[in-house]
């Protein structure tokens, strides 16, 4: 019951942010959302994902840390929202990629920095810095071309431990 409530609240927060016109133009790269007092940073990563997107895209273990990735289709999520869209949908990235790292002692990571290097199907490289969010690190990406995307995630933890994971995601 608590997990379902947390998932509903998290999804509601994501929908609220997505619907706010000023959120699109806002530079989130320098914000630390872990200090906002939501309390979900202490929630295990698997419970922090929104209910509709609770399926992991990938789970990997790097140096004993478990990395769980979730991919949210932003346009699909916004299209299914009951809140009317008041801004230009063409300015919204197509997806939001989250990585939720959990330490070997099963405690979620609540401090550090992370980024993605995405090599698109046309071999164009795109870098995206994440923002620290409840339960992990997230960044908006455009995954609109059909084909294979090579995604490299680099996470530097507060104690300077560096985690690097690489995988391929295919858009059909």
Q: Report the chain's mean pLDDT, rounded to a whole number.
A: 73
Q: pLDDT band at residue 95, thresholds of 50, 70 and 90?
A: confident
User: Would you state the pLDDT for residue 165?
Assistant: 97
The share of the chain scoring above pLDDT 90, in percent, equals 42
> Could you read off the pLDDT of 21-43 as tens digits, one per residue?
333 333 344 444 333 333 333 33
Q: Are 67 and 60 in contact (CB under 8 A)?
A: yes
User: Would you state the pLDDT for residue 88?
Assistant: 61
Q: What is the dihedral of CA 168, 14, 110, 141, to 10 degrees?
A: 30
> Could you read off the pLDDT of 116-162 as tens digits, one per residue?
999 999 999 999 999 998 779 999 898 889 999 999 999 999 999 99
pLDDT above 80: residue 2 = no
User: Would you state the pLDDT for residue 52?
Assistant: 44
- Burial (CB < 10 A; 0-12, 13-18, 19+), residue 126, is middle
3-state SS assignment for residue 132: strand
Q: pTM for the whole thing?
A: 0.64
Q: Which domains does the chain have, with CATH numbers?
A: 2-171 (2.60.40.3340)
pLDDT above 80: residue 115 = yes
Closest CA to 74 of 168, 7, 143: 143
Strand order in the sheet with 136-141: 58-62, 65-73, 95-102, 136-141, 131-133
């Amino acid at each position: 019951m608590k997990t379902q409530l947390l998932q509903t609240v998290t999804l509601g927060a994501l929908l609220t942010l997505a619907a706010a016109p000023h959120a699109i133009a806002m530079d989130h790269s320098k914000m630390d959302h872990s200090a906002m007092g939501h309390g979900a940073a202490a929630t295990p990563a698997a419970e922090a994902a929104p209910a509709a997107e609770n399926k992991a895209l990938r789970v990997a273990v790097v140096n004993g840390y478990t990395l769980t990735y979730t991919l949210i289709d932003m346009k699909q999520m916004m299209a299914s929202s009951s809140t009317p869209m008041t801004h230009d949908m063409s300015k919204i990235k197509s997806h939001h990629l989250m990585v939720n790292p959990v330490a070997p002692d099963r405690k979620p990571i609540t401090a550090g920095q992370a980024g993605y290097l995405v090599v698109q199907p046309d071999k164009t490289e795109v870098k995206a810095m994440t923002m620290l969010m409840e339960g992990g690190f997230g960044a908006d990406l455009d995954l609109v071309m059909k084909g294979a995307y090579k995604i490299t995630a680099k996470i530097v933890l507060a104690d300077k431990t560096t985690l690097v994971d690489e995988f391929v995601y295919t858009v059909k």
